[in-house]
């Protein structure tokens, strides 16, 4: 049995081109929505003191050599201890025999990057054809992965960021500008929403941050932060104003995503959208709700394992 540590995992992952990474995740969503994958409900362990979340996601895709079990955690006070907020590992088993093939001690890297790639998939298949400015809400690990992964699908380097902590927002600006972006710290959230047509929200907020009255025609929002019951980044008015609401998984989003508070009859799964069952018009307002689906973990694990 192969045991891979983070350094080797990162090396193997980045040996795959960004565009191939994005397309692999897009195909994973299609397999989920067309019934080619067997994905049980998510296991969730909520920690109170200190605050944290542990998710267990697992599943199999027809014709895939491995099925995967993933444990991922987020402990939000870890940065004050000098530790990353996310961690975890993946276990890969032979789909024909059940024998364990590999342990991927990725320390949460694969979960972080596959979530970033899902944001890139949303931008490519659902977002506006021309991105004028990218808005990033939040200043944590995922805010960085989201922006980096967008490089594969848009040439836009103009970015606006908002965070509760102005020092962290300035640190984000400094870091991402070393990677070629032009980053401005937003005066407030309304300023960001009104001036960006591709917005990604990445916070663990439990009270809505973005209001419907701020959303302009042609705006796309990818909501990443709400992946647990009780979390919420978008007020009801945002979803009511949207022309299309896209869920990575309807069953998950209606229990732990932005859609847990109210379901909408015309929502569509991301895999079905990618398959061409619906199209965006130029001035449509679109919202993608991402809770993270195990098909992403299966595909990204196999990307590393080869």
List strand residue ranges (DSSP E) for 149-284, in order.
158-162, 182-185, 198-201, 220-223, 244-247, 268-269
Judged against a pLDDT cut of 80, whether residue 263 lies above it is answered with no
Distance CA 71, CA 54 (A): 7
| 286-289/220-223 β-pairing | parallel
Q: What is the pLDDT of residue 86?
A: 86
- Reported as a pLDDT band with limits 50, 70 and 90, residue 85 is confident
Q: What is the pLDDT of residue 96?
A: 95
H/E element holding 305?
helix 294-305
Token pair 């022309």 in the structure block, residue: 243
Of 21-35, 65-79, 168-182, 289-303, least confident by mean pLDDT is 65-79
Domains of the chain: 2-110+295-305 (3.30.1780.10), 126-293 (3.40.50.720)
Enter the DSSP assignment of 3. E
101-149 tens-digit pLDDT: 999 999 999 999 999 999 999 999 999 999 999 999 999 999 999 999 9
Judged against a pLDDT cut of 90, whether residue 79 lies above it is answered with no
Farthest CA pair distance, the chain = 56
Distance CA 247, CA 152 (A): 22
30-73 tens-digit pLDDT: 999 999 999 999 999 999 889 999 999 999 999 999 999 999 99
Distance CA 56, CA 133 (A): 35
Q: What is the pLDDT of residue 265?
A: 82
164-181 tens-digit pLDDT: 999 999 999 999 999 999
**Mean of pLDDT over the chain:** 96
Q: What is the pLDDT of residue 19?
A: 94
List strand residue ranges (DSSP E) for the chain, in order.
2-5, 37-38, 43-47, 52-61, 66-75, 86-94, 100-105, 134-137, 158-162, 182-185, 198-201, 220-223, 244-247, 268-269, 286-289
């Amino acid at each position: 049995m192969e045991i891979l540590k983070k350094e080797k995992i990162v090396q193997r992952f980045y040996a795959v081109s960004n565009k191939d990474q994005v397309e692999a995740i897009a195909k994973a969503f299609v397999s989920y929505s067309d019934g080619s994958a067997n994905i049980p409900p998510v296991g969730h362990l909520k920690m109170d003191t200190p605050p944290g979340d542990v998710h267990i996601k697992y599943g199999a895709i027809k014709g895939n050599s491995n099925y995967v079990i993933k444990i991922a955690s987020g402990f939000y006070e870890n940065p004050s201890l000098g530790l990353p907020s996310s961690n975890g590992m993946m276990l890969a088993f032979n789909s024909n025999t059940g024998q364990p093939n590999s342990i991927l001690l990725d320390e949460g890297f694969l979960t972080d990057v596959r979530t970033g790639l899902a944001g890139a998939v949303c931008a490519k298949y659902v977002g506006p054809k021309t991105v004028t400015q990218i808005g990033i809400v939040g200043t944590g690990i995922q805010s960085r992965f989201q922006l980096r992964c967008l490089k594969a699908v848009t040439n836009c380097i103009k970015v606006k960021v908002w965070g509760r902590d102005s020092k962290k927002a300035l640190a984000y600006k400094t870091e991402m500008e070393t990677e070629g972006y032009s980053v401005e710290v937003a005066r407030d959230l309304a300023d960001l929403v009104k001036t960006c047509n591709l917005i990604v929200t990445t916070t663990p907020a439990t009270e809505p941050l973005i209001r419907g009255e701020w959303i302009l025609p042609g705006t796309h929002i990818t909501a990443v932060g709400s992946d647990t019951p009780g979390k919420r980044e978008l007020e009801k008015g945002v979803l009511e104003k949207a022309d299309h609401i896209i869920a990575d998984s309807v069953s998950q989003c209606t229990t732990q995503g932005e859609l847990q508070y109210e379901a909408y009859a015309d929502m569509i799964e991301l895999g079905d959208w990618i398959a061409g069952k619906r199209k965006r018009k130029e001035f449509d307002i679109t919202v993608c709700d991402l809770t993270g689906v195990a098909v992403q973990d299966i595909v990204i694990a196999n990307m590393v394992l080869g």
